[in-house]
Structure 1
Amino acid sequence: MTEPVSPTHELIDTWADDPRGPVALHLRQKLRSVEDTGEGPPPVIFPPTYADVGYNIDPLSDGTKVATIDSVGAQANRMEPLFKTPPLSALVPQIDVVLGNGKSVSVLDAGHRLGDALVRSTALRSEAQAAFASLQRGNAEPIARLAPTSLVFGAWDSRGEGAKLPRIIQSVIRAWDVDVLKRSAQYNPPLDYSALDVFDAEDKAKAEGNTKSPLAQRGFVHVPASDQPGGIVARGGVWRDVTINLIALRRLEGDRIDALRRYILGLCLVAAAEPLDGFLRVGCLLTPDPASHGAWVVVDRQGVRSPVALTSREALDYAAARAKTFGVAEARTVSFDKEAAKADLADGTADGKKASKKTKAVAG
């Protein structure tokens, strides 16, 4: 492979501007558990569990099992809050919602971003609606002014104009060739509460081993927990794939197209290159594998991959320069409006009833 190119600001600009330019930037990065000593068997790591599914493990046609360690949505929700703290905080508008109980929450923590119920429950509602309406007319700049990370990580105004913003950047972590483990545990109370007449021996006998029993749930009797998810062993390693979709980026339109696209690309580069906190959950603390040199590549229209020496420092320098050109709105504080939230809920309930009646009419 050729030597990686250190991208200049001018070269990065072409990725945003040139309609015949590359289609994507991609990073494949090998991750390693902090418990991996490099000797002996691979360590046990714990994927997320999902309702009615448990671990999300897919078998391939050759029998290989692939486990989701962090989904695209989860990765986006880890990357977006990076923009709350310096120096990244200077790159995007900082909007906090005061809840009225002495607490506040950043819009950057809202999972649905500009389409979130939190936004609709504040004075931002009309601005967000106007921005989505503008997007429907082909102008993404109002969204970039109000909530640019909605362009970076995607958003869906499902309760309003119906506008959809595809993710420009996506990241996912998977473990390959996995074996699934089970674990069991036993809770033993420190004393026999029935002997102290807290309840009788008959109640104790009925409750022990029954996890649905109030006595078991409150910790008064012995409770076994068997055949529970016990983590996985990834014989094929754990890998993170990060992709910046330059075609989706270049489809953004606005009054100042070049400034808009370059600004959003800068945010994408920062989000992608900034080191993540590897504590995904208990039993899953991951870092990049220093023995595996994950490298960025730029992928052209013919599929040719050319290495790029993109560092977090270079990404931040570019993003800061392009943010200055585009202009970042000042920080704002808005209040949570309980009545607006109730009204939004009522609107949603009414829409649901209308849809239900329409469905029944069609079915009849």
Structure 2
Amino acid sequence: MALSVAQELEPIEGRDVPLFPPTYPAPERGTHRHDTPYTINQLKDGRRVATLDSVQSQANRMEAAFHGELAHAVPRITLTAGTRTLALTELAHRIADAAIRASKLGSRIHAAFEAYDHGDPLPIAQLGPTALVFGAWDSRDTRVKIPRLIRSEIHAWDVDVFTRSAQFSGAFTREELGFNDKEWKQGADIGFAPTPSVDQHGGVVVHGPIRQTASLHLGALRQLDNAAAGLGNYLLGLALGAFWTGGRDYTLRAGCWLLPSAPPVVEVVTRGGAREPLALDRDPALPFLEAQLAVAKERLGIPVGETAAVEYDPAAGKKMLKTKDKA
């Protein structure tokens, strides 16, 4: 069983204005590449579909709620390295992140992944429960992979790719600034001389729907609950809370601001493939999460809302590098 959400979206500036998908570096020479830095796939009928927000990016937006509005719903572990302090939920690989592994939690994290691999998810939940919601891969140690329970992405259908050009012109001439011809040509690099920018990526114009699609694996939640009674409901609360807060933030990036154009379509998908409508929004989702917190803390031993601060150990980090070299 699964929970499915489809949300139709519209650009704030209207359909005639290009939207800007995320850009990615060009692949190495000799590999297939497109003439655009965007992720755009062409269907067999010729239409092109642009990814406006990837699964990973959507997970980051949702997880941000746990070092913001929903910080009280998870253990509040922070990691300090140098002069910066970040919440565990801000680390790219969550509890599998190399930086948190090089702290006093390293051995405990290792043991938690091994326990998960043997059917016990509770030690992971007691450290970083969002790893069970958004997934984690301990690719550099135990090799244990935790699949994500919730996934979301945003696509724009039937797009045309635009380019744009610009010309920078400085306020003063070469003579006024006292440069010779050679110096003036060099001056383009530091902002003195006129500089053209031609045929740069200019976004996409969308002719078809813009849609966020999200799903939550209810069957996997049930399995986690079988392993530790009450854990499934707690993680369900985290997933719903994350989606109805950070997952509904459609200010994706400059030039890509979206708004819902209709109410979301929420359905329960049964094992047999039947789809049953479900009335669900932020109002019941957040109270459901709040109701699970006491159970998570008292019955499951998850230190919900409790703060723990650890520091990055440079020596441990260097030891990890040496271990990798030996491997």
Fold conserved between structures, TM > 0.5: yes
Alignment of 1:258-269 (within 5 A): 258-269=229-240
1:190 to 1:113, Cα distance in 2 relative to 1, 3 A? same
2:149 aligns to what? 168
2:324 aligns to what? 348
Is 1:29 the equivalent of 2:1? no
- TM-score, normalising length from structure 1? 0.81
Alignment of 1:125-136 (within 5 A): 125-136=106-117
For residues 75-111 of structure 1, the C-alpha deviation after alignment (integer angstroms, 9 at most, x for no partner) is 001110101123x22211111112342x311111111
1:140 aligns to what? 121
d(CA) in 2 for partners of 1:223 and 1:25? 52
For residues 224-272 of structure 1, the C-alpha deviation after alignment (integer angstroms, 9 at most, x for no partner) is 111111111111121100100122323336752x311111111111112
Letter in 1 for 2:283: R
1:71 aligns to what? 54
1:159 aligns to what? 140
Question: Of 273, 285, 290, which aligns to 2:244?
Answer: 273
For residues 319-351 of structure 1, the C-alpha deviation after alignment (integer angstroms, 9 at most, x for no partner) is 122221121312111112222222222322333
Alignment of 1:201-212 (within 5 A): 201-204=181-184, 207=185
d(CA) in 2 for partners of 1:241 and 1:342? 42
1:97 to 1:129, Cα distance in 2 relative to 1, 3 A? same
Question: Of 260, 270, 275, which aligns to 1:305?
Answer: 275
- SS in structure 1 opposite 2:230? helix
d(CA) in 2 for partners of 1:80 and 1:121? 22
For residues 277-309 of structure 1, the C-alpha deviation after alignment (integer angstroms, 9 at most, x for no partner) is 3221110111211xx222210001121111111
For residues 8-41 of structure 1, the C-alpha deviation after alignment (integer angstroms, 9 at most, x for no partner) is xxxxxxxxxxxxxxx11010001111112xxxx5
1:123 to 1:194, Cα distance in 2 relative to 1, 3 A? farther
Structure 1, gaps ≥5 residues long: 1-22, 208-213, 352-364
Alignment of 1:244-259 (within 5 A): 244-252=216-224, 256=228, 258-259=229-230
d(CA) in 1 for partners of 2:60 and 2:141? 23
d(CA) in 1 for partners of 2:18 and 2:260? 17
d(CA) in 2 for partners of 1:215 and 1:30? 48
Letter in 1 for 2:71: S
Is 1:93 the equivalent of 2:75? yes
Structure 2, gaps ≥5 residues long: 27-35
Letter in 1 for 2:42: P
Alignment of 1:175-190 (within 5 A): 175-190=156-171
Question: Of 261, 266, 284, which aligns to 2:256?
Answer: 284
**Structure with greater Cα Rg:** 1
d(CA) in 2 for partners of 1:107 and 1:225? 41
d(CA) in 1 for partners of 2:42 and 2:88? 38
1:354 aligns to what? none
Question: Of 40, 65, 77, which aligns to 1:82?
Answer: 65
Report the alpha carbon displacement of residue 169 of structure 1 after superposing the two structures with TM: 0.2
- TM-score, normalising length from structure 2? 0.90
1:235 aligns to what? 207
Letter in 2 for 1:68: T
CA RMSD of aligned residues (A): 1.8
- SS in structure 1 opposite 2:239? helix
Contact (CA 8 Å) 1:138, 1:253: kept in 2 or not? no
d(CA) in 2 for partners of 1:323 and 1:348? 39
- SS in structure 1 opposite 2:224? coil
Contact (CA 8 Å) 2:9, 2:210: kept in 1 or not? yes
Letter in 2 for 1:34: I
Letter in 2 for 1:164: K
Letter in 1 for 2:181: A
Alignment of 1:314-333 (within 5 A): 314-327=284-297, 328-329=302-303, 330-333=306-309
Report the alpha carbon displacement of residue 316 of structure 1 after superposing the two structures with TM: 1.4
d(CA) in 2 for partners of 1:62 and 1:81? 38
Moved over 6 A (4+): none
- SS in structure 2 opposite 1:30? strand
Letter in 2 for 1:202: K
Letter in 2 for 1:45: L
